[in-house]
Structure formats: structure tokens, C-alpha cells
Amino acid sequence: MRVLSVSRWLRGAVRAPSGGPGSPQVPQPGRREREVTVDVLDHLEHLALVDFRDSEGVERLQKAIQFADQLHEVNTDGVEPMDSVLEDRCLYLREDDVTEGNCTKELLKNAKEKVEEYFVAPPGNIPLPKLEE
């Protein structure tokens, strides 16, 4: 019967191979394992100004990279990267009119610290201390 046939090929459909997305990761044999060293983590933390100053951080990142490595299974020869689905559209141009601004009070309202009409930051960009092992 027609009804059954449809469900049959749904049930017997080709399953995605194991090791696909969602299942625990096993590094592919022969693939160079990307080492997340303390240096790399330190570099990232300085660039991103978030920290994960523990082994959990390294592990997390390592897992994330391993997960992302699956991308290399896909053959993308001759494929152009896609920035956005709107890549064939053109940017909307605005007329050169002054339509915003003049809202100093509103802007400063949400700032936790301010001095007169300025936002306030601590002094300079003093580099964060290096991450120890």
C-alpha cells in the first residue's frame, strides 16, 4: 500500500554514519592533533579578554577544535565562501542627514561610572599578567 511504502523508506533510510555530529569525538587517525598549549590559551585570553584559567578551559577549547575539525572531511574545492545569504543584494544607502545624537543624558544613564559628561575608564591599557602553567 502506498501508505506503507512511504514510511518504509523513511524507516529504512540511510542513517548518517556514526561519528557524525553530536556523537563523542574520536580524532581521525593520521590527522595532526591540534595542540592547545598554554601559550595559545594565553594569547586568546588577551585578545578576547575572557578567561578560562584552568585545565577545564584548555579541555573545552580542545573539544571545540576537534569538533570543528570535521569540516575538513568536506570537499570544498572550487566553492566560494558565503558571507551571508544576502550576498547578491546591495547595500542600502542613507541620505547624509543628521537624524540622531543629542542624547547625552540617555547614554550616560546606563553607564555605571561617569565623570561629568564623559564615560570613565581606568588608566591605560596595562597588559594582563601572563597565564602560568
Partner 1 sequence: MAAAARGCGGVWCRVWQCGAGGSAPRGQCSVAGSARSAAVPAGKSGLAPWVPVVGLEIHAQISSNSKLFSGSQVQFAAPPNSVVSFFDASLPGTLPVINRRCVEAAVMTGLALNCSINKRSLFDRKHYFYADLPAGYQITQQRVPIAVNGTLSYSLCTDNKMSQMVTKTVRIKQIQLEQDSGKSLHDDTRSQTLVDLNRAGVGLMEVVMEPDMCCGEEAAAAVRELQLILQTLGSSHAVMAEGQLRVDANVSVHHPGEPYGVRTEVKNINSIRFLAKAVDHEIQRQIEELENGGTVLNETRAFDSKLGCTVPMRDKEGKQDYRFMPEPNLPPLILYDTKSLPANMNHQQVVNIDWIHERLPDLPSVKRAKLVEQYGILPEHSFTLLNEDGLTEFFENVVKHTQMKPKKVIGWILNDLLSYLNQHSLTVKESPVSSSILADLLNLLERKEISSTAAKQVLVELWKGEGKTPLEIVKEKKLELIQDQEALEQICQAVIDGQENEVIMMVEGSLCSTAVCGTKKGVKMVFFFSPVDWHLSCRASIGAVKLLLSDYQPFLLLSYFTKCFCRN
Partner 2 sequence: MLRASLREVSAALKEGHVSPTELCQRCLALIKSTKFLNAYITVVEETALKQAEESEKRYRTGQPLGVLDGIPVAVKDNFSTAGIETTCASEMLKGYIPPYSATVVQKLLDQGAVLLGKTNLDEFAMGSGSTDGVFGPVRNPWSYSRQYKEKLVPKSHPEDEDSNWVITGGSSGGSAAAVSSFTCFAALGSDTGGSTRNPAAHCGVVGLKPTYGLISRHGLIPLVNSMDVPGILTRCVDDAAVVLGSLAGHDPKDSTTVQDSFKPFELPNLTDVSKLSIGIPKEYHAPGLSSEILALWSKAADLFKNAGANVIEVSLPHTRYSIVCYHVLCTAEVASNMARFDGLEYGHRSDMNKSTESMYAATRREGFNDVVRGRILSGNYFLLKQNYENYFVKAQKVRRLIANDFMKVFRSGVDILLTPTTLSDAVPYTEFIKEDNRTRSAQDDILTQAVNMAGLPAISVPTALSERGLPVGLQFIGRSFQEKQLLTVAKWFEKQVKFPMIELEEVKRHDHGVFQHQKSASFS
Q: In the complex, which residues of this chain contact partner 1 (CB under 8 A)?
A: 43, 46-47, 49, 83-84, 86-87, 89-104, 107-108, 115-125, 127-128
The answer to whether residue 38 forms part of the interface with partner 2 (CB under 8 A) is: no
Q: Which of 70, 56, 87, 62 is nearest to 23 (CA)?
A: 70
Single-letter code of the amino acid located at 100: E
**Rounded distance, CA 108 to CA 19, Å?**
52
The answer to whether residue 11 forms part of the interface with partner 2 (CB under 8 A) is: yes
Q: Which of 19, 24, 49, 52 is nearest to 38 (CA)?
A: 52
Q: Which of 29, 30, 54, 76 binds partner 2 (CB under 8 A)?
A: 76
**Rounded distance, CA 114 to CA 108, Å?**
7
Count of C-beta atoms within a 10 Å radius of residue 60: 13
The answer to whether residue 32 forms part of the interface with partner 2 (CB under 8 A) is: no
Compute the CA torsion angle 118, 119, 125, 129 (nearest 10 deg): 150
The site partner of 100 among partner 2, partner 1, none (C-beta below 5 to 8 Å per kind) is partner 1
Binding site residues, partner 2, CB under 8 A: 2-3, 6-7, 9-11, 13-16, 18, 20-23, 40, 43-45, 47-52, 57, 60-61, 63-65, 67-68, 70-74, 76, 79-86, 89, 91-92, 94, 103, 106-107, 109-113, 119, 121-128
